[in-house]
Structure 1
């Protein structure tokens, strides 16, 4: 904590000293320097405002996209459940036939094994 305070104080004092040295060694008049600093400050403020607005737009867009995605996933889930139920309903009458056909194949295989073993 003390190191952070020392660092902050050092940055502040260094910045002030640098600004003072720049003002004293500049070939322009004080009025020109103040005007340029003011203009630069306004440009930075505009840039910060622009970044802030872009961030807010991005935040809103992410929220909207998230809501749309959730709704899309909800609809997709419902459609998939409906499709699975329809498939189950379509396959149900044929399940017994498939089961009987598999039993016939198994019986045929047992008969074939018995014939092979008897020879």
Structure 2
């Protein structure tokens, strides 16, 4: 829903409600004119408040999108850098573990061979 449609609906509904209330109350002409002036003044103040708040909301959304365009790429870059550093720091441990596993496998093979030789 577009903002202009929302504001237009809000204004139309408010005016309709105000006119209905004014014409359905038992008042004199002078009282009705005074009520209409007061209602229209209140309506203008409320409409100006709504416009101001919509403007603030639009500005906030614009600023947020600008910040997101700056922050998100930086965050992605930082995460990629952290992952690369983690890979580099774990590479030494990976190589050491591979050597230890290989040594254990060789020891197991030698043990199996010595057991097989003893059983003969």
User: What TM-score, normalized by structure 1, do the two folds share?
Assistant: 0.62
Query: How many Å apart are 1:100 and its aligned residue?
Result: 1.1
Look up the match of 1:76.
Answer: 75
Question: Is 1:22–2:23 an aligned residue pair?
Answer: yes
The number of aligned residues is 99
The ranges of structure 1 where at least 4 consecutive aligned residues each deviate by more than 4 angstroms after the TM superposition are: 109-116
CA distance in 2, matches of 1:111, 1:70: 61
Q: Within 1, Cα distance between the matches of 2:44 and 2:112?
A: 89
Kindly indicate whether residue 68 of structure 2 is the aligned counterpart of residue 37 of structure 1.
Answer: no
Q: Which residue of 1 aligns with 2:61?
A: 62
* Cα distance change on mapping 1:34 and 1:113 into 2, 3 Å: farther
Q: Deviations over 1:69-104 (max 9, x none)?
A: 332222111111112222223333443222111222
RMSD of equivalent CA atoms: 3.1
Q: Any unmatched runs of 5+ in structure 2? A: 1-15
Distance in 1 (CA, whole Å) between partners of 2:79 and 2:37 is 62
Distance 2:71 2:61 in 1: 15
Unaligned runs of 5+ in 1: 1-14
Return the alpha-carbon distance in structure 1 between the equivalents of residues 112 and 29 of structure 2.
Answer: 108
Cα gap change, 1:113 to 1:59, in 2 (>3 Å): farther
